[in-house]
Amino acid sequence: MNLRDVRLGTLKSYYRHMRLVSEHFGRDPRRLGEKSARQYLLFLKEEKRWAASTIRQAIASMRMFYGGMLGKSWQLWDVVVCRDRRKLPVVLTIEETAAALGCVALLRHRVPLRLIYCCGLRLDEAVRLTVEDIEPGRIVVRDGKGGKDRYVPLSDIMYRQLQRYWKRHRNPKWIFPSAGRGHPGDARERMGKSDAPMGKGALQKAFHDAVVKSGIRRKATIHTLRHSYATHLLTLGVNLRQLQLYLGHEDIRTTILYTHLVPFGEERSMEHIEAIARLTL
């Protein structure tokens, strides 16, 4: 897998899925045949009702294990298909976003969450930001999804807030260092000495609690902030191609999904719809 330049995150995913296969059958997965693999994938789809993207991860790991490592040329891989059912993502209004972020209790959680919204970052991209990645007017997102680097615009307001926040802990590497465990009174000191970035779980819990406290009834996650960023920028007139670069989408069709959430000229469109209806009276 090193020769195939498999990324660490993908490698961990492969191991996790093969561990689940082993636990499901209660034996060494090397002893399983094509029929068992077929039954397992049907189990994931029909009984576990996993999302299509997660099933595709399981397929990729099994294909690597049985085909790439054990050399088994099964017909199963030519047959199995798992398509996405395209669902529109949950998006918050600007007012709802402000309300949720305003309910985040701790500054060390509120600042990275606000940055995720203001720059449309993925959670993993945000927590791994270093001091060298922050520049006036832009952020350098290094080794993003697909192993690609990109620049993301950074407002002056957000840049100044990041400066003030960093001066509280002055960690030599991380913008959002881990606070570790212990008494909250010495969190700054621990953050300044930390050699690890903030854990993703802490931010996820903080945002979940803030959404509940704000009274928002929709199922919003941290990734909802990224969806909201994209939708709000499109509504305000940002070019679709430019937004694709900001978000780091390889395929513009992924970015086009957000156009279904934006009321582009809806009032004017209704005027034209009414006009053509009158013409046929």
Q: Take residue 190 and report the two structure tokens written for it.
A: 């621990």
177, 194 contact by CB (below 8 A): yes
Is 86 a residue whose pLDDT tops 80? no
pLDDT of residue 222: 96
Short-list 6, 130, 112, 7, CA closest to 69: 6
Active-site residue identified among 14, 66, 117, 258: 258
Q: State the pLDDT confidence band at 117, using cuts at 50, 70 and 90.
A: very high
pLDDT of residue 251: 87
- Sequence-separated (6 or more) residues with CB below 8 Å from residue 190: 178, 179, 180, 182
pLDDT of residue 5: 81
Q: Which CATH architecture has domain 94-261?
A: Orthogonal Bundle (1.10)
- What average pLDDT does this structure show over 34-57? 92
Count Cα atoms within 13 angstroms, Cβ side, for 191.
Answer: 23
pLDDT of residue 270: 62
Query: 138-141 and 150-153: which strand pairing?
Result: antiparallel
pLDDT of residue 17: 95
Active-site residue identified among 24, 38, 45, 122: 122
Active-site residue identified among 128, 226, 227, 232: 226
Cα–Cα dist 82/49, whole Å: 12
- What average pLDDT does this structure show over 55-78? 92
Residue 88's φ and ψ, nearest 5 degrees, are -70, 135
Q: Which helix (H) or strand (E) holds 120?
A: none
pLDDT of residue 187: 84
pLDDT of residue 169: 94
122 is catalytic: yes
Q: Take residue 228 and report the two structure tokens written for it.
A: 């909201």
223 is catalytic: yes
Is 107 a residue whose pLDDT tops 80? yes
108, 198 contact by CB (below 8 A): yes
Q: Take residue 77 and report the two structure tokens written for it.
A: 């891989």
Is 273 a residue whose pLDDT tops 80? no
- What average pLDDT does this structure show over 22-29? 95
Is 60 a residue whose pLDDT tops 70? yes
- What average pLDDT does this structure show over 95-110? 94
- Burial class from Cβ neighbours inside 10 Å (0-12, 13-18, 19+) for residue 152 reads buried
- In the sheet that holds 138-141, the strands lie side by side as 134-135, 138-141, 150-153
- Sequence-separated (6 or more) residues with CB below 8 Å from residue 221: 90, 204, 207, 208
How many whole angstroms from its chain centre is CA 131? Answer: 22
Cα–Cα dist 67/64, whole Å: 5
In the chain, where the domains are located = 8-79, 94-261
Task: State what percent of residues in the chain have pLDDT above 70.
Answer: 92
Q: Which residue has the higher pLDDT, 264 or 11?
A: 11
Q: Residues 238-270: pLDDT tens digits?
A: 889 999 999 999 888 889 888 888 765 555 556
Is 280 a residue whose pLDDT tops 90? no
pLDDT of residue 189: 87
Active-site residue identified among 56, 168, 213, 223: 223
pLDDT of residue 186: 79
Active-site residue identified among 7, 145, 188, 200: 145
- What average pLDDT does this structure show over 220-249? 92
Q: Residues 142-159: pLDDT tens digits?
A: 988 877 899 999 999 999
Q: State the pLDDT confidence band at 87, using cuts at 50, 70 and 90.
A: confident
151 is catalytic: no
Buried b (16+ CB within 10 A) or exposed e, 123-142: bebbbbbeeebbeeeebebe
Evaluated on CA atoms 182, 186, 187, 190, the torsion sign reads negative
pLDDT of residue 184: 64
- What average pLDDT does this structure show over 51-74? 92
Q: State the pLDDT confidence band at 9, using cuts at 50, 70 and 90.
A: confident
The mean of the pLDDT values for the chain is: 89
Q: Residues 125-146: pLDDT tens digits?
A: 999 999 999 999 999 999 888 7
Q: Which residue has the higher pLDDT, 184 or 235?
A: 235
17 is catalytic: no
